[in-house]
Structure 1
Amino acid sequence: MGNPSNATNSTANFTNYLMQKNEYDLSYHRDRGIPNWVSWHLDRTWIGSVQRQDDFRADNTLPAGWYQVNQSSYTSSGFDRGHNCPSADRTSTTAVNSATFLMTNMIPQAPNNNQKTWADLENYTRSLVYGGNEIYLIMGSYGEGGIGSKGGLTKTINNGKVTVPSQVWKVLVILPEGNGDANRVDSNTRIIAVNTPNVNSIGQNWGAYRTSVDAIEAATGYNLLSNLPASVQSVIEAKIDNGPTN
């Protein structure tokens, strides 16, 4: 549905470096040690019966000389290694699931934010797929400073090499299964936009954190859903979803 930050794969663009994988695309920020955003498509072909691999590891496809966040970089920090593209969205093969455990797909996420609020949204998302839909997703984060399981505001971990974001957001574009997807998005298409504080005291009901795409764009400076006609964007990006949450 677009490249929200106009990321490129030039190593000079170290704050907005485009990485394109078979399973998802992302914009990586070298100095924050986390992605700016991750974008992926979800339909039933991506969901199978493969076990969660749990093989968290550094991403050796980062440019030479860049610091590689590794599987132990979040240890004892009070924050989870929080997936952007979820493991359970990629269970068709072992290799596909393993790709979600690259640390370039992770952010330091408050445990309750990750394991409760976002887990519930992810489960609801897959229920929509089981119901005959396909979904385009963009997840990202911004700001600096979250509150994990240890309490107190934490701005960075891993000796300052990994920034703890203050906000975690996601946008879902929900379509019935079909072809020519961008052309099928119209003013009636259901769009879910969620923006949560990265704190351990967060409520579990993700529906309470719904917002508009416009509001996320204002906070991040991104142009989300930029491949859609401007006339469609202007309508759907202003809406705040009030549909079911389970």
Structure 2
Amino acid sequence: MASLEDYCRTLVGQGNELYIMMGQYGTGGVGSSGARTTLDNGRVTVPQRIWKVIVVLPEGTNDASRVSATTRLIAVDTPNDNSLNTAWGSYRTTVDAIESATGYDLLSAIPASIQTVMEARMDKGPTQ
């Protein structure tokens, strides 16, 4: 989503560092040519969902050690659909939900006690 990428640039311009993780899951998306489950004669699977997780830290060093339970964490999970609503805030979710859908452990470098709090929280911060 271009509006989320623009917002990430705004956050960086405000003196933050961003750690961005992105992926997909499921099968079947909707593009300009309509709904598809595969492309290129079945050699490429079209994902059903696209997710992104963004950890926002002020510029500094020893980043993993500076992450706390109050660090801003933005998680979005969107349908893979070209007619998607561009207001990315409406697709916010938790990291726990993304991990449940994908099987990944996304914030494994962060202490478990902090991870538990962060991953369960849905971002309510600004979107622009």
> What TM-score, normalized to structure 2?
0.98
Partner of 2:25: 142
Paired amino acid for 2:110? L
Partner of 2:67: 185
Partner of 2:111: 229
Runs of 4 or more above 4 Å deviation:
none
Query: Unaligned 5+ residue runs, structure 2?
Result: none
3-state SS in 1 of match to 2:57: strand
3-state SS in 2 of match to 1:202: coil
> Structure 2 CA distance, aligned partners of 1:139 and 1:201?
20
Partner of 2:2: 119
Post-superposition offset of 1:209: 0.2
1:85-125 per-position Cα deviation (integer Å, ceiling 9, x unaligned): xxxxxxxxxxxxxxxxxxxxxxxxxxxxxxxxx11101100
1:49-69 per-position Cα deviation (integer Å, ceiling 9, x unaligned): xxxxxxxxxxxxxxxxxxxxx
Q: Does 1:129 align with 2:9?
A: no
Post-superposition offset of 1:150: 2.0
Query: Unaligned 5+ residue runs, structure 1?
Result: 1-117
3-state SS in 1 of match to 2:60: coil
Post-superposition offset of 1:201: 2.3
Match runs of 1:1-246 below 5 Å: 118-151=1-34, 153-246=35-128
3-state SS in 2 of match to 1:200: coil
Paired amino acid for 2:93? T
3-state SS in 2 of match to 1:222: coil
Partner of 1:75: none
> What TM-score, normalized to structure 1?
0.51
Aligned sequence identity (%):
60
Structure having the larger proportion of residues in helix: 2
> Structure 2 CA distance, aligned partners of 1:145 and 1:244?
31
Q: CA RMSD in A?
A: 0.6
Post-superposition offset of 1:223: 0.4
> Structure 1 CA distance, aligned partners of 2:82 and 2:5?
18
> Structure 2 CA distance, aligned partners of 1:172 and 1:200?
22
> Structure 2 CA distance, aligned partners of 1:122 and 1:172?
11
> Structure 1 CA distance, aligned partners of 2:93 and 2:123?
7
1:35-85 per-position Cα deviation (integer Å, ceiling 9, x unaligned): xxxxxxxxxxxxxxxxxxxxxxxxxxxxxxxxxxxxxxxxxxxxxxxxxxx
Post-superposition offset of 1:149: 1.1
Paired amino acid for 1:158? D
Paired amino acid for 1:225? L
